[in-house]
Amino acid sequence: MAFLMKSMLSNQVKNLGLGGGGEESKEESTPSDPAAAAGMTREEYEEYQKQMVEEKMERDAAFAQKKAERACLRVHLREKYRLPKSELDENQIQMAGDDVDLPEDLQKMVAEDQVEEEDKDSILGQLQNIQNMDMDAIKEKAQATFTEIKQAAEQKCSVM
């Protein structure tokens, strides 16, 4: 309790301006040179700062590259599914440079998708789709459609 009273009273006295000498001594004891504050020589501190700036630039470049790769993926997906283009993605790709490609894993996936789509679009792919269809159901639909057309023609034409 005595500590609490002492701290409260000393704060009040400092606010009145009667005991302001304590703060000045603290300011004088802290060095104004950041190198001395870090416990290094001036040269060591400058070298440390250079390393920090270089590391930050490397991190920023890697981050920009990742953002551009993601934007490239989004652009690819938009082209594939015929969605509207985004200027933001194109700007990110341009900012990172033109050497932005899809990551290798995604390139493999895209290549596999293209092969599958080419197989489906080919004649052999269409023939395989025909084999998978239910021919009886197709025959029934065709016969039903034919009879409907025949009945409609008979109603409209007096010769038949």
Question: For 100-112, how does the pLDDT look when each residue is reduced to its tens digit (9 = 90+)?
Answer: 777 777 778 877 8
Once rounded to an integer, what is the mean pLDDT over residues 90-98? 80
pLDDT at 15: 66
Does position 26 have pLDDT exceeding 70, yes or no? Answer: no
* CA geometry: angle 153, 154, 156, nearest 5 deg: 65
Does position 53 have pLDDT exceeding 90, yes or no? Answer: yes
102 CB neighbour count, 10 Å cutoff: 16
pTM confidence score: 0.46
The Cα–Cα gap between 38 and 42 comes to: 10
Does position 25 have pLDDT exceeding 50, yes or no? Answer: no
64 backbone dihedrals φ, ψ, rounded to 5°:
-65, -40
